[in-house]
Amino acid sequence: MSPDSTHPDTHAAVPLLEIDQASVMRGDSLILDRLSLRLGEGQHTAILGPNGSGKSTLIRLIARQLYPLARLDGLPVIRVFGRDRWSVSELRSLIGIVSPALQVDYTSDAPLEVFDAVVSGFFSARGLGLDHHLTPAMRERALEALAQMEASALVGRQMASLSTGEARRVLIARALVHGPRALLLDEPCAGLDPASRRRFLESLRRLARSGTTLLLVTHHVEEILPEIDHVLLLREGRIVQEGDKQSVLIDGALSATFAMPVHVTRHGDYYGAVVD
């Protein structure tokens, strides 16, 4: 039976993600350069690199928001849960995505209430339409997801009225309504003050401990959760280094990634980095 026509029925049977020599062009620029990557389900991973290194492009590639150049041998470039062909709606039920671009869309001037923003995730829509049939089970799951992200008190408010941290929690709740097996988080702490960032990171830690695989894109070492042990360093669309946290988060590797002297520090379960 072809893996392209079946839905994976066991979590351990296939890796979450396999990328084989992915190249992505934007105009005349090569944004990802023959990048290869394999991640297992439950393998919480941080993708770290400077602005313009290809981090967000990699997330968009996984999310089917853009496509790689075809390989000369005709083999698939990217597989998610063992398959290289997915409908976007089907993939979104397995992998939730939260990004700054998504937040801009949901906090724009067009009115959108918090609960509607979350429950409309079942329909891959921005809010509820007249043709959307909301079941009691959907309503219950949306409320559970809001509670999971400690955002229940925000119900009734407009998305545009929320702080950055509040909106971020609501959008993760929206992603959680399907019970996704993984979450792709593109710069999830952007715009948060230090206290809000720490509270937000603690909510992500709870998700990681509950069994949701996290793929975190950031350029801040201090945002790498204790539960994340796999780190990928990107520069100019290529992998500089990949491996466990202790072997990758070192002065030499980060200095090469950011093209300047970087000194790695550690504070309890978190790492930090300062430019020398």
Highest-confidence range of 19-33, 97-111, 228-242, by mean pLDDT? Answer: 228-242
The 10s digit of each residue's pLDDT in 146-183 is 999 999 999 999 999 999 889 989 999 999 998 899 99
Collapse the DSSP code of 229 into the 3-class scheme (helix H, G, I; strand E, B; otherwise coil) and give the result: coil
Q: What pLDDT, on the 0 to 100 scale, is given for residue 182?
A: 92
pLDDT category of residue 115 using cuts at 50, 70 and 90: very high
Amino acid 13: pLDDT: 58
Full-model pTM: 0.85
Candidate from 21-35, 49-63, 84-98, 172-186 with smallest mean pLDDT = 84-98
For residue 55, is pLDDT > 60?
yes
Q: Are 54 and 236 in contact (CB under 8 A)?
A: yes
Q: What is the mean pLDDT of residues 223-233?
A: 95
**What type of residue sits at position 86?**
W
pLDDT number for residue 109: 67
Domain ranges of the chain: 17-112+182-275
Q: Is the pLDDT of residue 2 over 60?
A: no
**Mean pLDDT (the chain, rounded):** 87
% of the chain beyond a pLDDT of 70: 95
Q: Which residues contact 210 (CB under 8 A, 6 or more apart)?
A: none
Position 10 scores a pLDDT of 41
Concatenated DSSP letters of 97-154: EE-HHHHHHHTSSS--BHHHHHHGGGGTSSS--TT----HHHHHHHHHHHHHTT-GGG
Question: Is the model's pLDDT at 192 over the cut of 80?
Answer: yes
| pLDDT reported for residue 11 | 44
Helix (H) or strand (E) segment spanning residue 10: none
- Which pLDDT does position 216 carry in this prediction? 94
pLDDT band, residue 105 (cuts 50/70/90): confident
Q: Tell me which of 1.10.3720.10, 1.10.630.10, 3.40.50.300, 3.65.10.10 is the CATH number of domain 17-112+182-275.
A: 3.40.50.300
pLDDT at 46: 96
CB 16 within 8 A of CB 39: yes
The model's pLDDT over 74-91, given as tens digits with 9 standing for 90+, comes to 777 888 888 888 877 778
pLDDT of residue 33: 92
